[in-house]
Structure 1
Amino acid sequence: MRKMLMACVVALSVAGSVAAADRPVAPNGIALYPDYLSWKVIAPSYREDKGQIRIITGNETAVAALKAGKKPLPDGSVLAKVAWKAEKHPSFPVATEPDAFVQVEFMVKDARKYKDTGGWGFARFVGNKLQPYGKDAGFVAECFGCHTPVAGNDYLFTRMVRTP
């Protein structure tokens, strides 16, 4: 787990960023946060059904609340889930590392604006061109539907990773 976390942190540190003027916008109006790769890592994850290594990062508001154990997270909290296809290391096949970038997803907390989706706005940007996901704003039903099983945890699957 530590090796996977370190590999993902290295991948985050060398990945490029998007200039503010070039920010793509999801159909529901949420723009890509260009600094998501510089946010603090909350936790790594592995999605077996998708074969993806993911890193969840958070802005300062989200990280402070998670560290303090505050739920629900306060308005202004933003989480990013960055996903890469998992690939066996060619020289060390027992190791799995990030390969091709898949997508970045955002959860944006605003209890009033997003009251119909548990206080969270959702956005997804796919592929190297960071193409906004969804034909219209109704795509959020898919995101919210996935998160409803964890409604009692402020719709979050992720918690701060524990380290000594």
Structure 2
Amino acid sequence: MRKLAFLFATAILPLGAQATPPPSNGIKLPATYKHWQVLGVSHRDDNQSLRVIVGNTTAMTATRKGNTHPWPDGAILGKLVWKDSRHPLWQPAIVPGTLSHIEFMVKDSKKYADTGGWGFARWVGMELKPLDNDGGKPCFECHKAAAKTDFVFTRPAPLP
């Protein structure tokens, strides 16, 4: 799984890309996210996008132990999002196309008390342009629907 996360993540930065983009909502892009493990995947029909969800060590340990209600402080979840594309050699296959954005949820129950204990950050496109949107409050409005799972929509991918 770790190798898969690395392969997906390394596909998003072109050679010569800005290594450290400016913060989004006061959150820095985690420097090690390309080495995090895959926690889950998703596809959204409403905006035709593929998503790989990765987690830092704290998030992955919490997932394996079932310690996600609530998630522990220090857990960080990352979402790498691409627009759908068709595989040129196998048209039934939907594969990652253009990078839409990458985003992160950072758990700190005290610092982000106003947004369910989570800080929200997003960088848009290959340029990794930071999105600053009122401290992540619009993100939290959508995540309120997942209050039963500590405001996290991601379902860990089952493995044997």
TM > 0.5 fold call = yes
Question: Does the 8 Å contact 1:8/1:98 carry over to 2?
Answer: no
Structure 1 regions of 5+ residues with no counterpart?
1-5
Question: Does the 8 Å contact 1:54/1:83 carry over to 2?
Answer: yes
Q: Cα gap change, 1:118/1:53 in structure 2, threshold over 3 Å: closer, same or farther?
A: same
Where do 1:14-163 residues align within 5 Å? 14-16=11-13, 19=19, 22-26=20-24, 28-70=25-67, 71-134=69-132, 136=133, 138=134, 140-163=136-159
What displacement does 1:92 show?
0.6
What displacement does 1:160 show?
1.6
Equivalent pairs: percent with the same residue?
41
Structural RMSD (CA): 2.0
Q: Which has the higher helix share?
A: 1
Alignment coverage as a number of residue pairs: 154
Q: Deviations over 1:29-57 (max 9, x none)?
A: 10111221210000110011111100000
Question: Does the 8 Å contact 1:65/1:73 carry over to 2?
Answer: yes
For 1:92 and 1:73, how far apart are their aligned partners in 2?
A: 39
For 1:87 and 1:7, how far apart are their aligned partners in 2?
A: 19
Question: Does the 8 Å contact 1:78/1:109 carry over to 2?
Answer: yes
Question: Does the 8 Å contact 1:66/1:160 carry over to 2?
Answer: yes
Q: Cα gap change, 1:7/1:69 in structure 2, threshold over 3 Å: closer, same or farther?
A: closer
